[in-house]
A = this chain, B = another copy of it.
Amino acid sequence: MQTLSHPALQPVVNTRPLGALEESLARASLRRVEAKEFLFAEGDPTTHIFRVETGAIALYKILADGRRQVVGFAYPGDLIGLGAQGEHLMNAQAIKPTRLRCLPITILHHAAAKDPAFGFRLYEALAGELAATRDLMLTTGLRSATERLVSFLLAFSRRSERHGHTPLEFELPMTRADIGDFLGLTIETVSRTFTKLKTLRLIELPHSNRVKIVDIDELENLADGEDHQG
């Protein structure tokens, strides 16, 4: 139930440790990608999975007509590439300078063969992603622009808190376009909705990428769909 009140809007990734992988990751090679550089593109053969060390990556698909759906963002600690069989199903592009650990996928197969529980843990990791993706679908499918953006901001607030920072102020690493393509809105609507939240004195924007939450309770009401009030 709590996933409904607070839709995850989590990155399409897995954060929980996968035991057998940890030691491999520690020795894995490091890769740097610059902002806007592609880590991989849709259709590329799946040779590695990655773990973000620093920076941020946007994961997205593109429709024939050029429309873009951002499927998630990956931050430090997140794994990228799980679930791709044979070839990658989406594009992974850095939204800021990023460092990642690279693991050959063959490691997955080895680990699964050696440790019978490992395959099952992979399964559980994907189950979490599936749940997050469904929550995102609920959010983009059934909610108003305001509800979507507020849910998005609250997800960041919680992430900030989880990392030991204040939940009341944080940096958004991505552009309005990225947010829009994630939430299924246009740049203009995202911008207008930010302005609306500012006008309602629910947030402040010291810079366009820096969010300060003023009234988190009211924001949570909005996200839960209990809006149409003050």
Contact = CB atoms under 8 A, between A and B. Distances in A.
A127 to B, nearest CB: 4
B63 A142 contact: yes
A141 B141 contact: yes
Nearest to A224: B64
Interface in A105-148: 109, 112-124, 126-127, 129-131, 133-134, 136-138, 140-143
Interface on chain A toward B: helix, strand, loop, or mixed SS?
A: helix
Contacts of A62: 4
Nearest to A72: B134
A27 interface: no
Interface stretch (A81-89, A92-100, A187-195, A207-215): A81-89
Contact of A141 (B82, B184, B226): B184
B89 A134 contact: yes
Contacts of A42: 1
Interface in A69-85: 69, 71, 82-85
A10 to B, nearest CB: 13
A136 B138 contact: no
A221 B141 CA distance: 24
Contacts of A118: 119
Contact of A130 (B4, B83, B112, B121): B83
A184 B133 contact: no
